[in-house]
Chain A
Amino acid sequence: MFLAVRELTHARGRFGLMGVVIALIAVLMVMLSGLSGGLVNDGVSGLKNLPVTAFAFDEGTKTDNAFSRSVVDGEQLAAWRDQPDVEAATPIGVAIVNAVTDDGTQIDLTVFGVEEDSFLAPTPSDGSGLGAPAGIVVSETLRSEGVELGTVVTLDQTETELEVVGFTQGQATFGHVDVAYAPLATWRLITLGDAPAGAAPTEADLAGVDADHASAIALQAVPGSALASGDTDAVAAADAAAGTTTMTLVESFNASPGYQAETLTLAMIQWFLYAIGALVVGAFFTVWTIQRGHELAVLRAMGASARYLVRDGLTQAGILLVTFTAVGVAVGLGLGALMPEGMPFSLEAGPIAVASVVTILLGLAGAAVAVLRVTRIEPVTALGGAR
């Protein structure tokens, strides 16, 4: 560290430029982390907020868009309710619809049809809960579209009218579309096309629905059970009995439209950024080590061990990486605060900390490859004259 610190301060121009590059990479890393978090929230915050262990879809349903592809019935629900590992099982209907508010604003809604007395029923932060056939509880983020309590939302095509009776606590979106909780019977009425046109559904309309279908079965596992721990054998046995395919809550995020493609794309960009960081740091320290070749040979001739010099070089890289990654993260957080409100951008401490550590570790790995060159420096080259 003795030499490392003094070289850092002496060659501060060179190290400063390198530090700026590391800081820029860290800024980009924070921006990507924020975008990634924002897109995740926009894609699946409606699911993340649900008190669910897993979802059971119809057997063989493809993961992509499973919520809109899958159709489960009452028999499958009953089979799951008979499972000893299941504390509660309830159907959920999912449908994305286009609608217009009573002031003419066009909005999109993901209608979550849930049983009013089930564990999926929303607890509103404002207004009342589910109960009335036409009453819906919507994501708080819809307020930005001018939606208020009492706003009447008319669904396109069927012209069924639904009334906003409550708001969820915080964002609840699915597939980048705001969630609207509705009674499961109302959801069935809408998806069957039996809802009254130009009017709100009534109790009589719901009583006339002869269907027991839903999109999936939401499961709450008994704490400590095989289902709770994700034991694949136990889940497979229950799936075989119910004729379903089960995904954990986190796995079910991939069933949200576009979620997998978006997260994979961002993850790929993020890993490319890490790789670029490691390469840039490695290239810098390669040049730095080559430039100092004669000095390092002098030190080796004086008896400095290769381990001493490698440790010194890595300390130098570590100081540089930690300092300027911290600067980059600070700048990134500042820029994140300036993001426009409508942009899906969410900064969370955990992912930023992980990304910072990965940036530093991969940068150190790149530096290590370069700094290890000192082990190949022959101390005899410290003597003047060609040998």
Chain B
Amino acid sequence: MTQPATAPTVAAEAAGDRSAATLVLQDVTLEVGDGEGKVRALDGVDLQVHPGELVAIIGPSGAGKSSLLAVAGALAAPTSGSVRVLDQDLGPLWERGGQSALARFRRERLGYVFQSGNLLPALTAADQLRLAYRIAHKRGRARSFDPQPLLDAVGMGHRAGSRPGQLSGGERQRVSIARALVNEPAVLLVDEPTAALDRARSQDVVALLAEQCHERGVAGVMVTHDHDVLARCDRVLEMVDGRLSPASA
């Protein structure tokens, strides 16, 4: 596993270097279910992700990886603890119960890369980006948006007119990465990006993710089962039973 010099270490986190972090989770707990079925999906999670850093979260199924993404991505409210993005506490957004405020926060600050890309089948690669731009910005400005540079940046400029059904799994993920970067997010949340890819394509996709995070100064969090791609990440953390810790070697 590479460890770029610029990437902060877990030790640095423990030392309280929170000022520079883009994403900060502090003592976050998430309980799901009711009564006897209640499960603690996250248990006192602390995490800081800095600009330009791609952090991988590994762990067995049911360990709480997706729950971590949901809480960090303003998709689920933590039971306790705090989540901050660019020093903005998400707690008040949840307390006000304002779905529209949360939606606005997501479209302005966050980018998502989903499993298998989750692209819309009706849209070409270029239109996937145009739609993301329309969601993130006022419609009046949408006409001036050119998706080509972003598609070129992820190596998909030549497939701008192709729909998801005409793309391979790796290509779909590349378009999905471009789509997630349209709104120039502060945090990129990546959910099992290599789940449906072979080894070579998995390496390519994660290398692209790391490259984009580094170049654009985006704080990336990637949940994955795929240990072969961890070398591309700046840091690897392991989640077991809702607790986060540095990955064992």
Q: Which residues of A contact B (CB under 8 A)?
A: 2-3, 6-7, 9-11, 294-295, 298-308, 379-380, 382-385, 387
Does B173 belong to the interface (CB within 8 Å)? no
Question: What are the interface flags for B180-200 relative to A under an 8 Å C-beta threshold, 1 for contact and 0 otherwise?
Answer: 000100000001100100000
Does B239 belong to the interface (CB within 8 Å)? no
- Closest Cβ neighbor of B182 among chain A residues: A302
Known contacts: A302-B106, A303-B135. The answer to whether A11 contacts B118 by CB under 8 A is no
Known contacts: A6-B122, A11-B122. The answer to whether A305 contacts B75 by CB under 8 A is no
Question: What are the interface flags for B108-149 relative to A under an 8 Å C-beta threshold, 1 for contact and 0 otherwise?
Answer: 101010111010111100010011101110000010000000
Known contacts: A380-B70, A380-B76. The answer to whether A302 contacts B112 by CB under 8 A is yes
> Using Cβ atoms and an 8 Å threshold, which residues of chain A touch B61?
385
On whether the beta carbons of A303 and B115 are closer than 8 Å, the reply is: no
Does B29 belong to the interface (CB within 8 Å)? no
On whether the beta carbons of B106 and A383 are closer than 8 Å, the reply is: no
- Closest Cβ neighbor of B76 among chain A residues: A380
- Total A-B Cβ pairs within 8 A: 93
Q: How far is the CA of A384 from the CA of B142 in the complex (A)?
A: 30
On whether the beta carbons of B70 and A2 are closer than 8 Å, the reply is: no
> Using Cβ atoms and an 8 Å threshold, which residues of chain B touch A10?
121-123, 163
> Using Cβ atoms and an 8 Å threshold, which residues of chain B touch A307?
100
- Closest Cβ neighbor of B121 among chain A residues: A10
Nearest Cβ distance between residue B77 and chain A, in whole angstroms? 10
On whether the beta carbons of A301 and B120 are closer than 8 Å, the reply is: no
> Using Cβ atoms and an 8 Å threshold, which residues of chain A touch B115?
383-384
> Using Cβ atoms and an 8 Å threshold, which residues of chain A touch B66?
383-385, 387
On whether the beta carbons of B70 and A387 are closer than 8 Å, the reply is: yes
The CB with the most chain B CB atoms within 10 A, among A6, A301, A302, A382, is that of A302
A295-B118, A306-B103, A380-B76 given; name 20 further pairs at CB < 8 Å. A2-B127, A2-B142, A295-B120, A301-B106, A301-B112, A302-B112, A302-B135, A302-B136, A304-B103, A380-B75, A382-B112, A383-B66, A383-B75, A384-B115, A384-B191, A385-B66, A385-B192, A387-B32, A387-B67, A387-B70
Nearest Cβ distance between residue A259 and chain B, in whole angstroms? 52
On whether the beta carbons of A303 and B106 are closer than 8 Å, the reply is: yes
Contacts A/B (CB < 8 Å), 18 sampled: A7-B122, A9-B122, A295-B121, A298-B118, A298-B120, A301-B106, A301-B112, A302-B106, A302-B132, A302-B135, A302-B136, A305-B104, A307-B100, A308-B135, A382-B75, A382-B114, A382-B118, A383-B66
Does B73 belong to the interface (CB within 8 Å)? yes
Nearest Cβ distance between residue A264 and chain B, in whole angstroms? 46
- Closest Cβ neighbor of A378 among chain B residues: B75
On whether the beta carbons of B134 and A383 are closer than 8 Å, the reply is: no
Which of chain B's residues 60-103 have a Cβ closer than 8 Å to chain A? Answer: 61, 66-67, 69-70, 73, 75-76, 99-100, 103
